[in-house]
Amino acid sequence: MSRRAYAVACGLALAALVATYADHFHNDFHFDDDHTIRNNHFIRDVHNIPRFFVDPKTFSSLPANQSYRPLLTTTLALDYWMAGGLDPRAFHATSFALFALQCAAMLVLYRRLMDRARPHAWNRWIALFAATWYALHAANAETVNYIIARSEILSTLGVVVSLLMFTSKGVARRWGLYAIPAALAVCAKEQGVIAAPLIMLYVALFERELTMGELFQPRNIARLVADTWPVLVACMAILVGGLRLATTFTPGGASRWAYLWTQPFVILHYVYTFVLPVNLSADTDWSPFANPFDDRVVIGLVFVGALLWLGVTAWRRSETRPIAFGIFWFLGALVPTSSIVPFAEVMNDHRVFFPFVGLTLAASWAIALAAFNRKDTVVAVAGVRVRLKPAAILMTACLVVLAAHAYGTHRRNIVWRTEESLWLDVTEKSPQNGRGLMTYGVIQMAKGRYDVADQYFTRALQYAPQYAYLHVNIGVLKGALGDAAEAERHFRAAQQYDPGNPVSYYYYARWLGSVGRVDEAIAFARRALELSPGHAEAQQLLAELQSRPRQPHAPAAAATTPDTPERWIEISLTAYRLGRYQECIDASEKALSLRPDYAEAYNNICAAENAMQRYPQAVAACERAMALRPDFPLARNNLALARSHLTK
């Protein structure tokens, strides 16, 4: 009877998961889905799948976002093939199926870890609650609704399955087969490499039962490596190989140290989100803390220290070791985003998906241990003696928690329904997020509400004055309003702020074509494709432009010699945008012959030298620009880029 009741409970948990996410399958593509799915030519042909594993450029149409995630791109290509196009229902169905499979695997893993710590008949029920809690947790809706965040689901699933295979102690462990899902996890997202230290941690805690002091003894480290070397080798080989292939990827962060000392407070925020996920945002407006002595830095460090102390304390006793394992899983899974790589966003709510597997285990087992040691209590209510059973109280509380999360997830599904609903929520929750304000303005511009769009773009400029995408969209808006001069100014500013981004050239080419400057448009469309051969929209635009009647070439430009330094700078910038870097330098030198103290000319030379990988010459030119204009941000950025290559 008990077995049947448990089977029924598992069925109800699955039904609750399906019912909670039933309204999300029609939700739109969002944010990074644009350059990795909608505008990625490579996923439109399943014959490209072998190429995904050797060429990170197939992952995204934006060079700065081209990381090595071939398994993720493979699943996207299969979705496109099965759906016959960009039908979000097919993409969501795959993500949800993988998520449900992950939760089922977590149920088995949780039960196995709990039985290792303290065998008890309740363990399967505790594991079921923990897996269901995670499945319905409102914060995880940020990942399940965000199609490209399938990378989180795939990598987490791979890590969980790898641990399951390892802990089974069967053929999979003897032959090192458990390393396969871990390797696939790394092929989905770099964080999958955490599978290796997690398996080592499992051996140390539950098999060798090492104390914290014994863990760091050289002979014990050697034994742990001997026990787990297949997963170590597989994960590290794929990680290193992927990083070497992804030569164009840039995380976007500025100061590594400011990012690093902000992360302890971010970790505190993530734990708060685990307990009370009431202020979720698809794109937050947090920024790195400028001062390392900021109160929030101190509070965050104290909190992380307390969390580490709790993990070390739980390590000491066999029955509390699942708590230690869960805490160190949580912290370890945050390492790739919290310390190693300074991303443009200091925090994202979808980053907690993988870490929350560990935190859910720790919290659920801590609650269970507290319940194990509680006895029935008799209280008097209105003169009547009532026996309070801890098990009944705990079960009621658990059901309330699950129901609350199911409701919260349902509400987040509604927020993620359309681009407009999602980005309106971002502007309300993160009012200083320039990207969020811009994106909501783009949505209003698409609806013809140009005045509203202009208001949001103006607000966005306050927080992101050098954001290339913002200038592109302002250029689009000004072009739609017939202000050609302002449109061109902003398109050129976008190319200046982010010269390696094909989006700046694509939209400029589209605008040039709309005003009849077809030859120029073709040149810039080609430049976009040089930077990103998989840019589907640029391919379509170029084909359309080339089908138009060609303009006769005007010889005036060749016949007339520019006589002002400003005109030579314009020629220099045009040459740079078209990838003619030596012509850019030559034109800048012409400008300097007319105005020797022209900082912009030195900056253009620096940018062109960087593009040609002549970094000593780039440093020299940018240093001259900075000497003339110490507050020149473009020269400062170009100088930093050149110096970073010199130090490699």
**For residue 393, which phi and psi values (nearest 5 degrees)?**
-65, -45
The closest of 170, 277, 186 to 238, measured between CA atoms, is: 186
Distance CA 490, CA 485 (A): 9
Is the pTM here over 0.85, yes or no?
Answer: no
Distance CA 105, CA 71 (A): 20
pLDDT of residue 10: 96
Q: Which domains does the chain have, with CATH numbers?
A: 2-372 (no CATH), 428-550 (1.25.40.10), 561-646 (1.25.40.10)
pLDDT of residue 310: 97
| Alpha helix positions (H), 464-535 | 468-480, 484-497, 502-514, 518-531
Distance CA 176, CA 158 (A): 15
If pLDDT is split at 50, 70 and 90, which confidence band does 558 have?
very low
Distance CA 552, CA 647 (A): 48
338 has pLDDT over 80: no
pLDDT of residue 581: 86
Long-range contact set of residues 495-501: C-beta below 8 Å, sequence gap at least 24: 495/468, 495/573, 495/577, 496/573, 496/634, 497/466, 497/467, 497/468, 497/471, 497/634, 498/468, 499/576, 499/577, 499/607, 499/611, 500/63, 500/64, 500/248, 500/531, 501/62, 501/63, 501/64, 501/468, 501/531
Query: Which residue has tokens 């020269």?
Result: 635
pLDDT of residue 385: 61
Query: Which residue has tokens 């190319």?
Result: 495
Q: How confident is the model over 457-494, as pLDDT tens digits?
A: 999 999 999 899 999 999 999 998 989 999 999 999 99
292 has pLDDT over 60: yes
pLDDT of residue 187: 97
48 has pLDDT over 60: yes
**For residue 244, which phi and psi values (nearest 5 degrees)?**
-70, -30
Q: How confident is the model over 227-264, as pLDDT tens digits?
A: 999 999 999 999 999 999 998 888 766 677 888 899 99
Query: 537 or 69: whose pLDDT is higher?
Result: 69
Residues 6+ apart with CB under 8 A from 448: none
Query: 562 or 589: whose pLDDT is higher?
Result: 589
If pLDDT is split at 50, 70 and 90, which confidence band does 395 have?
confident
DSSP-derived secondary structure for 358-402: HHHHHHHHHHHHHHHT---EEEEETTEEEEEPHHHHHHHHHHHHH
pLDDT of residue 554: 40
If pLDDT is split at 50, 70 and 90, which confidence band does 219 have?
very high
If pLDDT is split at 50, 70 and 90, which confidence band does 423 have?
very high
If pLDDT is split at 50, 70 and 90, which confidence band does 374 have?
low
Average pLDDT, the chain: 90
Ranked by mean pLDDT, the top range of 132-146, 371-385, 634-648 is 132-146
